[in-house]
Structure formats: structure tokens, C-alpha cells
């Protein structure tokens, strides 16, 4: 039986990945900061699907948290076959309204943790000749969105670059770029969502189904909805200045997730 490790597993996209992968018969390693929620989730997945659900309490904004997940991914006796780097958060406010400590914390979670966990996972996957990594980014990676958008743009470029470097090794990597998803993401950041049109909201479970299908097809970038694919086509043609103005008027909700 194969094993998947999911960061940010207790809510939203991470929880949807955990549900789907457990339903598919994979054992899971659930990573998040809230130990109580993790244990409840692990019990539910085990009882419902008969899989092993391991709990790893870790804060990826802290050195000890990243190191703990690195160690689990590097354990050759308990190999992880699929890594879902999903942990992330948003900050409310424009640049200079958000504290530098919070900006750096975002880079720690979105960039440093993704870099280190991807490296730990793919090293052993390459030796086994198989494995997969999904790094959750955002369509905000393609528009000017301050630190959030910049960090997600890094995730996309990093993932596609590593995918190219590991081509032929049996290890697949994909950047997942969802739009607005109905999760706890905006509520946790204190962001209002009243100004977001209903058509822009995506279902987390459907998103995961599309993402896993794209990974199986060998794609290195997944924008999992026709509406957002069309929107990204428009973005490619629009002047950067116009995109910046639209992004600013939309508010620094730090992008879809």
C-alpha cells in the first residue's frame, strides 16, 4: 500500500486531498499545527476507509516543524510515495500594512518549507524510481499580488524547474494553481469575500479530482477549472499595468486559495 503525506491537512484543499487519497486506499500522513483536529481526522479516515492514518503535528513557519516533516519524508523504512505541499495562509492588508515578521513567516511556509520538503521527498523517490509531488500554488501566481502572489509564482517556477531536472527519473512534480475555493483560508486571514462573484468559487473535492488526474497525465502545471483556464488566457494578453490596477482594487486578499 502506498503512502501520501499532506501538509495543511485539516481543512480545505488539504483535507480534500486526505479524503480522496484515503478513499483510494492510500495510507496517509497528516501534517498540521492542530493536534486535536489531526487526531480526529485520522480516526475518521481510518474508520471509514480502513487505511493507516499517521499524525504529525508541525508548524511549517518554525524550523523545528520543517525539520520534523523533512525527517519523516527521509525515512527510507517508511517511504512516502506522494507529497502534497498544501500548507499556506494569507495576510490581510497592503504592503507596509502587514508586519515584516508576518511577511517573512509567509515566505518560510510558502517557499522555504516547499523547497526543503520537496528535496527530502524527491531524494528517496528518485532512488526508488517512482513518486509524485504536488505543490499547491494559486492563480495569484500569474498576477501582481504582493508577497502572496510572488511566493506562489516562486512555487510554480520552482516546481516546473525541478520537474524538468528530474524528467525520466520516475518522479512527477506538478504545481497546482486553484482559484477561489470554499475553505477556511479567507476566514482565518480575516478577509471578506462578499465582493467575489459566485462563479469564481470552486469545490475542493472536484479540484482534487482534477489535480490528481493532471498529475497522472504528467502535467507540471494544473489550473483545475475551465473558467480559470479561460481567465488565465486573458491574463496572458492583458498589460501588466492593468492587472496591477485590478489587483489593487480587489484588495490584498492575497489571492485565491
Q: Active-site positions? A: 148
Q: Do the Cβ atoms of 177 and 222 come closer than 8 Å?
A: yes
Q: Which residues contact 39 (CB under 8 A, 6 or more apart)?
A: 55
CA dihedral 100, 101, 107, 110 (to 10 degrees): -130
Backbone angles phi, psi at 248, to 5 degrees: -65, -45
Q: Do the Cβ atoms of 32 and 88 come closer than 8 Å?
A: no
Given the DSSP bridges, would you call strands 201-202 and 27-32 parallel, antiparallel or unpaired?
A: unpaired
Tally of CB atoms within 10 A around 103? 17
Backbone angles phi, psi at 202, to 5 degrees: -115, 155
Amino acid at each position: 500500500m502506498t503512502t501520501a503525506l499532506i501538509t495543511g491537512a485539516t481543512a480545505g484543499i488539504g483535507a480534500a486531498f486526505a479524503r480522496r487519497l484515503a478513499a483510494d486506499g492510500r495510507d496517509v500522513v497528516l501534517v498540521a499545527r492542530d493536534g486535536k483536529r489531526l487526531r480526529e481526522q485520522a480516526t475518521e479516515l481510518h474508520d471509514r476507509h480502513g487505511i493507516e492514518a499517521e499524525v504529525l503535528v508541525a508548524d511549517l513557519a518554525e524550523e523545528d516543524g520543517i525539520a520534523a516533516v523533512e525527517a519523516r519524508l527521509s525515512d527510507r523504512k517508511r517511504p512516502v510515495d506522494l507529497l502534497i505541499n498544501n500548507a499556506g495562509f494569507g495576510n490581510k492588508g497592503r504592503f507596509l500594512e502587514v508586519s515584516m515578521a508576518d511577511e517573512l513567516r509567509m515566505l518560510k511556509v510558502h517557499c522555504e518549507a516547499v523547497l526543503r520538503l520537496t528535496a527530502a521527498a524527491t531524494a528517496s523517490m528518485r532512488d526508488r524510481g517512482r513518486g509524485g509531488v504536488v505543490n499547491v500554488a494559486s492563480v495569484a501566481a500569474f498576477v501582481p499580488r504582493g508577497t502572496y502572489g510572488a511566493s506562489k509564482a516562486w512555487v510554480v517556477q520552482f516546481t516546473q524547474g525541478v520537474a524538468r531536472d528530474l524528467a525520466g527519473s520516475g518522479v512527477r512534480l506538478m504545481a497546482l494553481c486553484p482559484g477561489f475555493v470554499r475553505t477556511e483560508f479567507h476566514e482565518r486571514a480575516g478577509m471578506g469575500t462578499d465582493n467575489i462573484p459566485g462563479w469564481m468559487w470552486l469545490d475542493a473535492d472536484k479540484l482534487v479530482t482534477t489535480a490528481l488526474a493532471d498529475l497522472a497525465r504528467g502535467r507540471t502545471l494544473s489550473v483545475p477549472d475551465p473558467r480559470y483556464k479561460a481567465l488565465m488566457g486573458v491574463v496572458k494578453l492583458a498589460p501588466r499595468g492593468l492587472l496591477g490596477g485590478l489587483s489593487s482594487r480587489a484588495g490584498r486578499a492575497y489571492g485565491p486559495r
